[in-house]
Structure 1
Amino acid sequence: MSNTTVYEFPLKEKVRNYLRIEQLMGQLKLGAAGLDNGLSLYFFEQLFTLLDLFERIDIRTDIIKDLDGHEKNLVHWSQLPNIDNEALQQTLKTIINVRDQLKVSKKISAVLRDDKFLASIRQRFAIP
């Protein structure tokens, strides 16, 4: 039996964006191993692709909305019997903490986009 998850189209745009971000993060992890120069170049290509994606979409707002929905579900589940209240409360605290941090933070890619070192590398990648 395979543990592979298969997604069929058409998915909502938000879900496609989440899947693309997940894919790019996995590729960044591979490139971060940096075993040779090729992987280093691969890392930066994927990083800049991810930053471009973050510029095009407002992922922060989507994540906040999703976290709000999860919070409401957890509050509803807390009313049900036979629920591990301790685990539920811990998860609820985590969701609230992440959501609050996202609300006060800048756009997700702002710090990396404004980095002078990365900007100079990005210019070199733009040269054919």
Structure 2
Amino acid sequence: MTIGLPGLPITYEFPLHERIRTWLRLEDLFDKVQYFISVDSARAHHAALLSLFELAEVTARPELKSELIQELDRQKAGLESLRHNQAVDQGRLDTVLSEIASNLSDLHAISGKVGQHLRENDWLSGIKSRSSLPGGVCGFDVPCYQHWLHQSWVSRASDLNEWLAPMLAIRNAVTQVLRILRDSGHASRHTAAAGAFQLMLGGRTAHLVRVEVDDSVPCAPEISANKYAINIRFVQPEKTQKPRPCDLDVSFSLTLCNL
């Protein structure tokens, strides 16, 4: 019996390059920050601040900005060559090129290290140092932070958005690069016999592998890859022990994405 018939899909993404791994982490953190800021709750805003601290750590990579600029420049050059291609929607092309130009301008405008404004804020640095301790931000430890959490939602959200704003150029660039990456792939259907599947690359390269599985499937994919092949092994999650191999035939969608 093959499982994985049409239903609500779960998409699993597996980066095969360190840059892609970092960009996916940033995308996830930016989504969390903006979600928690939108929630009218002191606890949600505490979660938003913790995610901001994580963003400051990830964006501290010195090569982050230069890698994004390099990739956007490369995409811009490739798209410019399509200017007179009649098979290309020129209106859509102009829109994408305009977005790239705007994101490049914003990246070049960043001065100093990304997230440095958070690291130089003594009040935030004190909260960050306490947050690394279990239960370290209780009211008796940081009463000024407790006072801030009791301010109005509008006031707290304004502060959080102010601290987030200097990093939005990175968010916008990451969003565009990942959109281009995901749009580069074409999905194909496969079946993992007894939970195992191998695809020989035959000279192809991939920066990101996307595996889409129906949510009724009691298995999750694990992936390993080299320059010759991609191996997918489906495992059944266990709540008290290590996942065990899935012995079912699993139908899934596979997309190889490449910049």
- How would you bin the TM-score normalised by the shorter chain? 0.7 to 0.9
The structure with more strand, counted as a fraction of residues? 2
Describe the superposition over 1:20-52 as per-residue Cα deviations: whole angstroms up to 9, x where unpaired: 111111211232134333222211111101111
Larger radius of gyration: 2
Counterpart in 2 of 1:61? 66
Counterpart in 2 of 1:24? 29
- For the structure 1 residues 33 and 59, does the alpha-carbon distance in structure 2 shift closer, same or farther, using more than 3 Å as the test? same
Q: What is the one-letter code of the residue matched to 2:11?
A: T
What secondary structure is seen at the aligned counterpart in 2 of 1:5? strand
Which one is further off, 18-27 or 107-116?
Answer: 107-116
The answer on 1:118 being equivalent to 2:124 is yes
The structure with more helix, counted as a fraction of residues? 1
Q: Which runs of 5+ in 1 are unaligned?
A: none
Calculate the aligned-residue CA RMSD, in Å. Answer: 2.3
Q: d(CA) in 2 for partners of 1:46 and 1:65?
A: 27
Q: d(CA) in 2 for partners of 1:39 and 1:28?
A: 9
Aligned positions of 1:1-128 closer than 5 A: 1-2=7-8, 4-8=10-14, 11-56=16-61, 58-106=63-111, 107-127=113-133, 128=136
- For the structure 1 residues 57 and 27, does the alpha-carbon distance in structure 2 shift closer, same or farther, using more than 3 Å as the test? farther
Q: What is the one-letter code of the residue matched to 1:94?
A: E
What secondary structure is seen at the aligned counterpart in 1 of 2:86? coil
Q: What is the one-letter code of the residue matched to 1:24?
A: L
Cα distance, 1:67 vs. partner?
0.5
TM-score (norm 1): 0.80
Report 1 or 2 for greater relative contact order, CA contacts < 8 Å, sequence distance ≥ 6: 2
TM-score (norm 2): 0.43
Q: What is the one-letter code of the residue matched to 1:44?
A: L
Q: d(CA) in 1 for partners of 2:119 and 2:67?
A: 20
What secondary structure is seen at the aligned counterpart in 1 of 2:59? helix
What secondary structure is seen at the aligned counterpart in 2 of 1:8? strand
Cα distance, 1:3 vs. partner?
5.0
Cα distance, 1:57 vs. partner?
5.0
Which one is further off, 11-20 or 101-110?
Answer: 101-110
What secondary structure is seen at the aligned counterpart in 1 of 2:81? helix
Equivalent pairs, count: 127
Give me the identity figure in percent: 21
